[in-house]
Structure 1
Amino acid sequence: MSWKDEIEQLRKRQALAKGMGGPEKLKRQREAGRLNVRERLDLLLDSGSFREVGSITGRAEYDDAGNLIDFTPANCLFGRGKIEGRTIAVVADDFTVRGGAADAAIIEKQIQAEKMAGELRLPLIRLIEGTGGGGSVKSILDMGATYIPFNPGWDQVVANLERVPVVSLLLGPVAGLGAARAVSSHYSVMVKGSSQMFIAGPPVVAGIGEQVTKEELGGADLQLAAGAVDDAYASEADAMAAAKWFLSYLPNSIHDLPERRETTESPGRRDPALGDIVPRDKRYAYDMHQILRSVTDEGSLFEMGRNFGQSVITAFARLDGWPVAVLASNPKVYGGGWTAEAAQKITRFVDLAETFRLPVVHLVDVPGFVIGTRAERAGTLRHGARALSAIYQASVPWCTIVIRKAFGVAGAAMMDHTRFRYRYAWPSGDWGSLPLEGGVEAAFKAALAGADDPDAMKDDLNRQMKSFSSPFKTAERFWAEEIINPAETREKLTEFANLAAPLREPRTKAPRYRP
């Protein structure tokens, strides 16, 4: 007896499934400038490495004799594949089948994809296009009833944030539960011009009197500025390349450690140009990115979230091949001052480093919190205190380089000062409870008001204060541990990275991570 007929039936179903939503829907996808789901998997994964799970899942129709007459595949594909030889889990929406709506889905596929990533300890990439939620209005007619909403598999989505790296690529219009999945990631990327994200799309929003296009409602520029997604790129290929780059710094799970990569660069390479980069006039900014590129391994700086909380830079990089998390002030925006948005960005980034055991390098030039009524309305203090808590709760190795300013509560957030202070300062260091500019007027207000020559008294006080603010006088009291030649910064950081490497241990208990 042979099972030839059944094997043929299997092949027939697999072929029908690979037809996705059919020629007309596939044509429409191409005309919209977007790849179909299987083209995306081919682009993302090493050639021939995809192993699909649930390859013939879908809705079949049979004649009275039990013969298959039609088949619509589920709008969700998942399985495992390889990226540069590294096994990952991947789950992908098929927009050509009912526009990604859940009334065409077998929701258990998405749930199993999340479970596979978590239980097999594999990084997860979600390719999202559509709603992926409770279905369309049409599904209510099909079911004959409505239901109390719930988020299927959300326990697994939340759990994966604390156990494996999760990346979401938004590759078309994304709404509802699909949008919630997108932002519930460690790294999320949109494609400019062809992907949008919103709570509800334009037809629904029209019900509250707003007439907007998809791009106006949830285009990349809007979502980047809001901090809802991390990055956006010009093409799907570029977005996938960013996802691969991001994952290259992280372990497969919290039970593993980030890997070192071979490098031919000298760990002690010096850059004399750094000695001239910080202007003597504190009113002028400089390029912190230039410093970061100089001190890290060549080509290794991977910045994320550059459009949100822009007074702070968050990036991954390598030092002598070791992956590290880089936190840095951006003096070109608010002088490096902390806004509410910057504080939110810091909290999430420090939690990411803590989750996956990446040592943190912090380059500091912080004049304090940004002040004014706008800052107060934004809840800057509350968000700043949360960021400060994240820094003090972190247990990963931490190295701070004070480049220039460090003032007030935000300046004090350069590190947890109760730990061993692995810290260096440049000769351009300028610190205190508040900047001298304006501080003299506040501290000596009554005396200045009663002085015969207030301007002369203020000038004299400023001269005295300036003489006391020398970083060398701070170092003499061991309030600054070590002042270094800026050219030596890379050497100091690579020493830190090598000292920190043996201290990193896989987690036994996952920290709390929230998107």
Structure 2
Amino acid sequence: MSISELDVAPAGPPPRTPPERRARSMGALREELARLRARTVAGRPDGVARQHALGKRTARERLEMLLDEDSFVEIDIYRRHRAQGLGMDGRRPHTDGVVAGSGTVHGRRVFVYAQDFTIFGGALGEAHAEKIHKVMDLAMSTGSPFIGLNDSGGARIQEGVMSLNGYGGIFRRNVQASGVIPQISVVLGPCAGGAAYSAALADFTFMVQGTSQLYLTGPDVVEAVTGQRVTHAELGGAQVHGTRSGVAAFVHEDEEACLAEVRYLLSMLPGNNLEPPPAGPACGATHDARPRLAEIVPAEPSKPYDMREVIAEVVDDGDFLELHEGWARNVICALARVDGAVVGIVGNQPLVLAGVLDADAAQKAARFVRFCDAFNIPLVTLVDVPGFLPGTEQEYAGIIRHGAKLLYAYCEATVPRVQVILRKAYGGAYIVMDSRSIGADLSLAWPTNEIAVMGAEGAVNVVFRRELAAATDPAGLRAELLARYAGELVHPQYAAERGLVDDVIDPAQTRSAVARGLAMLRDKRKPGAQRKHGNVPL
């Protein structure tokens, strides 16, 4: 018998469920879902207690501190791993060890993940990584800042290469997002192995004293390979990365202060590279005299002072956020506002190594300049630099290569750029610190400025060494030559007469002059390309 000959009854609609049964069924499902969500959000009591005993917060507690109240929208709360064997079959907790989603900070949208150390030690597996990939993609597609709260033992061994593949996907997205949206990495526990690279690729890395650890290989591996015994803190603690490696831009005593600073940083950053930074109200800076500036900075070029006091007088309310405060302290990099507008400030620090530029200082300033340029933040450069640090140690450390990074960063920058020369600016260091010759839009100088190839003492010793060697009164001749050099080549108007300084200003007018200059440059044209460059970890 053929199919066509079969007497098949036509399929009818399924039997209808009575409304009261549907209601009861939906009500039961809602209750079950609510219980499951509540258990997942609450976490395992023993795991939560262990976190608190270590002085650490849970992933959800951290999100509550970071985000505006009731603004968090979680995604993939029921996600679970698919791994089998090696003890994973019966252990499939929801979230898979990472809480991911979106919220607001000061009312502005951000995307975020927080690794949950109470589940698999926060170790990253396939599902865990895919959740992070999803929020990173959403941050990119919406043009919103991305924040990672890291607390993880590293790759999940039981998932093998899929864990490594997950890290690779994060790194690729870090690079794609670089220079397009701000990326912030907050290390609140261990961050080992491949995970460390994501922190290094971020624009800003935060760490907490005592609990944060960031390294590629742990102490056990170091001892096995090199025989060297080292603690977690000595190898990759917050102090190490805040003062020696330069990986951590900010180091804090506790998680509360750390996450409060993340919120403050976000208040000065645009959502993406196509937006201007968020502006505050103008506060009359264009007519604000600060006579104390002349008291802070000694007229003698070799006397030290704290450049942070100068910055406090120039910016609104004396308030600025300094990056890498403990690393390469001979140069200062900070975000602040001038007349309500966000600016990036780079300044030599005469209190440390007399403010010379060395390899670390050049590297630190170069990356900051590139970040500001990528995100439309004008640059103000405060110059008091005796030169580059000489010596074999610096030459072997690649000071030429690192100095070239700073030079390249300034030459490439298209944002408004204002240079202020307070006292000395000698040699190649003058050129590198955003001189007119490499593209500064406005160059201002105090009457104490000395712009030259080198200081008077060095110049006289080089140019007139034969005359000094043959002189019957070398001390008298030296004094005469020093006065001649100063009078002819480094008098306050010398650079201004040649168009390399736009104005020689009263120190008290520095804040108002900078504010007027930034207002003049506010509409400086920017390239039309969507992306100028990434923020490579120099």
TM value normalised by structure 1: 0.92
Q: 1:197 to 1:419 in 2, by over 3 A?
A: closer
Which residue does the alignment assign to 2:453?
A: 433
C-alpha distance in 2 between matches for 1:69 and 1:183: 32
Which residue does the alignment assign to 1:88?
A: 110
Indicate whether 1:273 and 2:292 are aligned. yes
CA contact (8 A) 1:97 1:104 kept: no
Q: 1:299 to 1:131 in 2, by over 3 A?
A: farther
Structure 1 residues 166-245: aligned runs within 5 Å? 166-208=183-225, 209-225=227-243, 226-245=245-264
1:149 Cα deviation after fit? 9.6
C-alpha distance in 2 between matches for 1:129 and 1:455: 65
Indicate whether 1:446 and 2:469 are aligned. no
CA contact (8 A) 1:278 1:428 kept: no
Indicate whether 1:481 and 2:494 are aligned. no
Which residue does the alignment assign to 2:266?
A: 247
Q: 1:148 to 1:27 in 2, by over 3 A?
A: closer
C-alpha distance in 1 between matches for 2:122 and 2:93: 17
CA contact (8 A) 1:357 1:504 kept: no
Q: 1:284 to 1:463 in 2, by over 3 A?
A: same
Structure 1 residues 120-131: aligned runs within 5 Å? 120-131=142-153
1:42 Cα deviation after fit? 1.0
C-alpha distance in 2 between matches for 1:268 and 1:148: 57
C-alpha distance in 1 between matches for 2:277 and 2:495: 37
Q: Please give the per-residue CA displacement for 1:10-36, whole angstroms capped at 9, x wherever unaligned.
A: 33432332243x222211111000000
Q: Please give the per-residue CA displacement for 1:91-129, whole angstroms capped at 9, x wherever unaligned.
A: 111111111112485321111111111111111111011
Which residue does the alignment assign to 1:160?
A: 177
CA contact (8 A) 1:256 1:506 kept: no
C-alpha distance in 1 between matches for 2:81 and 2:367: 41
- Counterpart code for 2:369: V
> What value does the CA root-mean-square deviation take over the aligned residues?
2.4
Q: 1:244 to 1:119 in 2, by over 3 A?
A: same
Structure 1 residues 13-162: aligned runs within 5 Å? 13-20=36-43, 22-59=44-81, 71-103=93-125, 105-132=127-154, 134-136=155-157, 138-140=158-160, 151-162=168-179
Which residue does the alignment assign to 2:513?
A: 492
Indicate whether 1:355 and 2:378 are aligned. no
Structure 1 residues 406-425: aligned runs within 5 Å? 406-415=425-434, 416-417=436-437, 419=439, 421-425=441-445
1:378 Cα deviation after fit? 1.4
CA contact (8 A) 1:75 1:105 kept: no
TM value normalised by structure 2: 0.88
1:426 Cα deviation after fit? 0.3
SS in 1 for 2:287: coil
C-alpha distance in 1 between matches for 2:149 and 2:404: 35
C-alpha distance in 2 between matches for 1:393 and 1:293: 28
1:456 Cα deviation after fit? 3.2
C-alpha distance in 1 between matches for 2:366 and 2:156: 34
Aligned counterpart in structure 1 of residue 415 of structure 2, from 385, 388, 396: 396
C-alpha distance in 1 between matches for 2:312 and 2:472: 53
C-alpha distance in 2 between matches for 1:155 and 1:54: 21
1:421 Cα deviation after fit? 4.2
Q: Please give the per-residue CA displacement for 1:461-514, whole angstroms capped at 9, x wherever unaligned.
A: 112112222113443444432111000111111112222333365863311321
C-alpha distance in 1 between matches for 2:477 and 2:207: 57
Structure 1 segments unaligned to the other structure (5+ residues): 62-67
CA contact (8 A) 2:66 2:262 kept: no
CA contact (8 A) 1:327 1:363 kept: yes
Q: Please give the per-residue CA displacement for 1:11-64, whole angstroms capped at 9, x wherever unaligned.
A: 3432332243x2222111110000000111111111111000101112599xxx
Range 8-17 or range 73-82, more displaced: 8-17
Aligned counterpart in structure 2 of residue 368 of structure 1, from 383, 387, 391: 387
- Counterpart code for 1:480: V
SS in 2 for 1:153: helix
Range 159-168 or range 274-283, more displaced: 274-283
What is the aligned length? 503
Which residue does the alignment assign to 1:64?
A: none
1:159 Cα deviation after fit? 1.1
Range 483-492 or range 298-307, more displaced: 298-307
